Amino acid sequence: MKSLKTIILTGATGFLGSHLLRMFLAQGHKVIILKRHNSNLSRIDDLMGRVAAYDWDAMDVEQAFKEQGKVDAIVHTATCYGRQEESATTVFESNVGLPLKLLESAAFFNTDTFFNTDTILYEYLNFYALSKKHFKDWGMLFARMEKIRFVNIKLENMYGPGDAESKFTTHVIKSCLTNVPYLDLTAGEQKRDFVFIDDVVSAYGILLQKVDSQPGLFQEYGIGTGKAVSIREFVETVHQISHSQTRLNFGALPYRNHEIMYSVADTATLQSLGWSCQVDLQDGIRRTIEKERTL
């Protein structure tokens, strides 16, 4: 029988966070969400009556711990990529300031496990990359001091229906579905590990269930398929499955400076806990396209 937990979840209004919230509630866990006061609740509006919600930008986060009692796990998925030209201060506040407050409060209130999502992104998003590195260092320090169990999750290129339109995968899928005249792309030789949202959520479920029994107070897990495919293959698969008339202009765009040419998850440790990827690339793209057509 699975033990029920009290979970603090950040980023619940986002793509990944909203899927995790639905899973946690379906499993019977008590969930407390931390959000911005002006967050768009469209993804979770039907769930708000089943959670305790706090606006972290308008309160002291310790209030949630004091009012809700013992918390078993914090799952931190809220992030700011800086894609919308947010200031370095804003990026720092979301990616270091908030989770560090949670770390300090969690250690003080004796929370068992802190899950931190570290999305793999291009180096040109330097504010994001730097802030995530800083917070991982803080987490490692707290673990060494035996204040908390800290789990760093290295998430590869997640995709699925309803993801943000600013994401490359969503942009390609919607462009092909709407048959835009052409899509300018790089040569597409970069290789990425594209992992479907359902597999990501199931990985978090396994970690929540089993991670406290694993050795070491600092742990790191990769979430992905464990297979890298080229950007070109991803785009061409979307184009084929959607029967798109869009012209694909590979090579029309140059690679970015410091372009990551190969990225893939090491899933061995996660698989040792009983997790396995269930959705291959073609099936994931097909599911995404079918759902996007109805949105």
Task: For residue range 168-201, list pLDDT tens digits in order.
Answer: 999 999 999 999 999 999 999 999 999 999 999 9
Residues 199-228 have pLDDT tens digits of 999 999 999 999 888 888 999 999 999 999
**Pairing state of beta strands 191-192 and 229-230?**
antiparallel
- The one catalytic residue in 128, 159, 204, 221 is 128
Does domain 157-195+224-264+278-295 fall under CATH 3.40.1360.10? My reply is no
Asked about 124 being catalytic, the answer comes back as: no
Question: Model confidence at 2, in pLDDT bands (50, 70, 90)?
Answer: low
- Identify which has the larger pLDDT, 98 or 18: 18
Contact 235, 248 (CB under 8 A): yes
What are the pLDDT digits (tens) for 63-116?
A: 998 999 889 999 999 887 777 778 888 888 888 888 888 888 886 554 556 788
pLDDT at 86: 80
143: β partners:
none
- Asked if 21 and 35 touch (Cβ cutoff 8 Å), the reply is no
pLDDT tens-place string over residues 120-143: 555 545 777 788 888 889 999 999
Token look-up 């942009």 returns: 171
Give the pLDDT confidence score for residue 122 in this predicted structure. Answer: 53
pLDDT attached to residue 90: 83
- Residue 256's CB is within 10 A of a number of other CB atoms, namely 12
> Contact at 8 Å (CB) between 258 and 123?
yes
Closest CA to 150 of 220, 80, 203, 254: 220
Q: What is the pLDDT of residue 24?
A: 97
Which of 67, 66, 143 lies closest to 112 in space, CA to CA? Answer: 143
Is residue 255 within 8 Å of residue 185, measured between CB atoms?
no
- CATH number attached to the domain at 1-155: 3.40.50.720
The pTM for the full model equals 0.92
The mean pLDDT value of the chain amounts to 90
Question: How far apart, in whole angstroms, are the C-alpha atoms of residue 165 and residue 144?
Answer: 39
Q: Copy the structure tokens of residue 246.
A: 């869009």
Which of the pair, 97 or 50, is modelled with greater confidence? 50
pLDDT of residue 126: 75
User: What H or E segment, with its residue span, contains residue 92?
Assistant: helix 88-92
Domain boundaries, the chain: 1-155, 157-195+224-264+278-295
More confident residue, 20 or 122: 20
